[in-house]
Amino acid sequence: MRAEDDFDPWTQLPPPDDVVQSTFNISVIEGVQPLDAQFGLQTPKTVPEALYSTLFGAKDIPKKATQTADSVPLLNTYAVIDAAKVTNLDECLEASGLEHRCLFKGAAYEGMKDVSPWIVRLEEGSSFTRDLFTCSDSPQHVWKKRPGIFIHSQGSLTEIWEHLRRFTRVQDDAGKWYYFRFWEPYVLYGLAAHALPVANQICAPLHSVLAPLDMHTAGHVINLSPTTKRSERCVLFKETQSVLSKIRQHQVLVDIAETILLDGQVAPPSLDWPKQRDRLVNWGTHARQTYGLRKRKSLHSYLMIRNAMPHAFDDQALRTNEILLSQMTEADKLTMLINFLRTV
C-alpha cells in the first residue's frame, strides 16, 4: 500500500512503478505572473520573469567526449501551439516572420489546419512570443487559454517536426487509431510523471518541456538523456489510457477552480492561489469519488456552492451528505442541495 503523500497532488495519481526507469526531472513552477499589455514600455518583457531562465536563459548542455564547448549546438526554443485556441494562428505565424510549420499535412492539413497543432521556433523580443505569455482582454493575448507547450531541443525545426508528427495519430493495443493531443500541457506533463514509456518516446530528442498548467503555474520536465535515436511505435495501452483519463479529470477541476476563483483574471495579491486551487480540486475529487458527481456542470455547481458556504459541508452537515449520497441524478442532487441550503 502506498503512503498518502506518495500521490501527486496534481493528478491524484501515485508515481509510476519502477518497471521503466525515469530519465525526467519533474518540477512545478508556482507564482508565474503572466505579462500584461505593457503599454508604453520601451523594452517590454518577452516572457514572465519566473519563466525567463527556463525558456531563454543560458543552458548548461552536456557535451560528448568528442565535442568541444564551441562545437556543442545551442538549444532552440520551440512552441507547439493549438490553432483551435489562437484565432487565425496561421496568419499570425506568417506575419511574425518566425520559422513555423503545421504538424498536419495533406488531407488532414486541408481539413483541420484551423484546429491543428503548429510548431514555431520562438525568438526573444518577438511580439508573437510575447503574446503567448500575455493575459489581457485582447484576443491576441492567449496565456490564459494555455495554447500549447514550450520545448527545448538541439534539433532543427524540421527535425523536431518530423519527430512530433509521429505522435499526432496513435493506435491502442487493439489497433484502433486516435488523434493524440499530446500538445495539451497537462497531457505531456502528466505522461512524464505517470506514463513513462509514452513520455520517453515523445520527449526523446527534447531537452525540456514547459507546460502551462493554470494561470499562475507551469510544469517543467527536464529530459536527462535526450537522444536522436528513432523511438519505437507509440501504442496507447489500457494503463496509459487510464492515466490520461485521470489527468483530464484533474485538469477539469483546475479549470473550474480558475473560473470560480479567477474568472479569467490574474490572481489578486490577497488570494493564495495554489492553496485555494488545491482546496477546490480536493473537494472536487472527493465529490467525484464519494458523491458520484462526474459531469462538469455538476462539479462546477457543487464547487461554487461549497466555496461560498464551506461551513455547510463539514462533518456535522448530515443533511447535506444525505442529499449528496442519495441515488438521485446529479442534477436532482444539486437542485435539492440548493433548495436545502436556502433554508439554512
95 has a pLDDT exceeding 60: yes
- Give the confidence band of 17 by pLDDT, cuts at 50, 70, 90: low
The whole-number pLDDT of residue 56 equals 94
- Across 33-45, average pLDDT: 93
Taking only the tens place, the pLDDT of each residue in 195-218 is: 999 999 999 999 999 999 999 999
The whole-number pLDDT of residue 61 equals 56
8 has a pLDDT exceeding 60: no
- Side-chain-side CA neighbours of residue 5 (13 Å): 0
DSSP letter, residue 13: B
Q: Within the chain, how many helices (H) and strands (E) appear?
A: 12, 10
Taking only the tens place, the pLDDT of each residue in 232-274 is: 789 999 999 999 999 999 999 999 999 999 998 999 999 999 9
- Give the confidence band of 67 by pLDDT, cuts at 50, 70, 90: very low
Integer Cα distance of 27 and 44 in angstroms: 28
CA 247 remoteness from chain centre: 10
Burial-class residue 153 by CB neighbours within 10 Å (0-12, 13-18, 19+). Answer: buried
Helices marked H in the chain: 49-55, 89-96, 106-112, 127-132, 157-165, 185-194, 196-203, 238-261, 273-291, 296-308, 318-324, 330-341
The whole-number pLDDT of residue 316 equals 64
Beta bridge partners, 221, equal 26, 209
Integer Cα distance of 11 and 251 in angstroms: 8
CA 308 remoteness from chain centre: 27
- Residue 206 φ/ψ, nearest 5 degrees: -95, 140
User: In the structure grid, which three cell numbers stand for residue 192, read together?
Assistant: 512524464
- Give the confidence band of 147 by pLDDT, cuts at 50, 70, 90: very high
The whole-number pLDDT of residue 15 equals 56
The whole-number pLDDT of residue 239 equals 92
- Across 110-119, average pLDDT: 92
From start to end of 134-180, where are the E strands? Answer: 148-153, 169-172, 177-179
Q: What is the pTM of this model?
A: 0.88
Return the residue matching grid coordinates 535515436. 229
Taking only the tens place, the pLDDT of each residue in 126-135 is: 999 999 999 9
